[in-house]
């Protein structure tokens, strides 16, 4: 199998992650964000998985992607099923992983043209 780098310059491409910051295209954020096809929702008030409430999924529900990647910070932490139940009802698949893995996976799925969103906890 041959792997090639997709050089598309999507405005949603995650360019860097580290030191409590994430860079999307040319903008750096120092707080949690949600990335959907509509763009970056940079006022996502979640700082830990335990903080998740149903209303936090509004940006994701508006776009209704096929899959949501939940980046839980530096360590993998699964949310309570009730915290993501409304996504399942809307048939949005949820994959939970640490934030670095979620960022890498988001870029791959985005480059494949998949209907993907990411909720990234910094």
- For residue range 90-119, list pLDDT tens digits in order: 999 999 999 999 999 999 999 999 999 999
pTM attached to this predicted model: 0.91
The answer, yes or no, to whether residue 1 has pLDDT greater than 50, is: no
The answer to whether residue 66 sits within a structural domain is: yes
Question: How high is the pLDDT of residue 10?
Answer: 83
Opening angle at CA 109, ends 108 and 111, nearest 5: 65
The number of distinct structural domains making up the chain is 1
For the segment 9-35, the average pLDDT, to the nearest whole number, is: 94
The answer, yes or no, to whether residue 55 has pLDDT greater than 80, is: yes
The answer to whether residue 64 sits within a structural domain is: yes
The answer to whether residue 20 sits within a structural domain is: no
Residue 95 token pair? 């994959």
The answer to whether residue 26 sits within a structural domain is: no
Output the CA torsion 77→81→82→84 (10° steps). Answer: 70
Give the integer Cα–Cα distance in Å for 45 and 2: 41
- Which CATH number do you get for residue 94? 3.40.1230.10
């Amino acid at each position: 199998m041959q792997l090639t780098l997709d050089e598309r310059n999507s405005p949603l491409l995650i360019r860097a992650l580290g030191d409590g910051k994430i860079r999307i295209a040319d903008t750096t954020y120092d707080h949690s964000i949600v990335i959907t096809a509509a763009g970056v929702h940079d006022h996502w008030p979640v700082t830990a998985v335990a903080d998740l409430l149903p209303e936090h999924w509004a940006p994701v529900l508006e776009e209704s992607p096929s899959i949501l990647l939940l980046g839980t910070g530096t360590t993998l932490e699964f949310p309570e099923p009730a915290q993501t139940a409304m996504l399942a009802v809307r048939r949005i698949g949820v994959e939970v992983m640490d934030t670095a893995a979620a960022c890498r996976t988001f870029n791959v799925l985005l480059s494949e043209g998949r209907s993907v969103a990411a909720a990234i906890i910094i």
